Structure 1
Amino acid sequence: MLTIHAAERVRRTWDSASLEGGAVAVEGGRVAAVGPLAELAERFPGARVRRWPGVLGPARVHEGPLPDAPTPREQVHAVLKLGAVAVLAEYAGSRELRAAAERNDVAVLERARPAALVDLGRADLAVLDDGGACIATVCAGRLVHRRR
């Protein structure tokens, strides 16, 4: 199912200028398009639209040790709650932690990479409030965290 994630502001990278009233169309696990909400709604009629407060941009890479938690699954979920969908291999050394990351489509990277929303790229999104706290995380097209 195609979903359009719309926000007050959308950024292709966290350093780029924001698009006011922008949106990201997601089909499966890929970004179908980025642009103004009105344009994407017309281009993809019948798509479900999720509206978010704040700014929507690429999900983060968690560059340090994973948060403490009782289980590897909970450690991975703690990373998702921060708006990250990738961790560095040096901090995901155990077999159990890597398995938990794989089950949740969290990428394990050898080194950090720039995060960007790219047409046809993997649909990894984060929605942040004005203070930078994560409101929602989309990992490979699936909504995996939403702050209540």
Structure 2
Amino acid sequence: FDQYTNQGKITLIRFDTPDDATEALVEGDIKEYFVIPQDYVSIGVINRYTLEKQLYPPPATMTAINKFLLSNLLAGKVPSTTVTRIEAPLNLVTIRLTETGAVAPEQGGLGNLIIPGVFSILLGLSIVFSSTYLL
């Protein structure tokens, strides 16, 4: 697990021992660290250490760790294009068709979100103003 240490905005730094990483965490040199045990491939458990209370790790951290592990596990075993496809297996594009099976000229998009949002705001305002009238 020595390659692919740059994962977007997150840079992974190798420490020789967990104690060295803990010291760097306490001193504020790093925000968090994780330990990959020797039997990781068989058990699949990694311990993550941080000073912050968190219910769940941030998505950016999870993505960085996942890509780091995938890239290092597959390095040298499969082509790099396959590694890239495993890291991002799907880029789904939805195309709306007409009743005749042709591609529809309007594909939805932002208008489907904005119009209900505007009406929701208007409904909320009317409820607030009418409730103040009743008081």
Is the structural similarity TM-score above 0.5?
no
TM-score, normalised by the number of residues in structure 2: 0.23
Higher RCO, 1 vs 2 (CA within 8 Å, ≥6 residues apart):
1
More helix by share: 2
TM-score, scaled relative to structure 1: 0.21
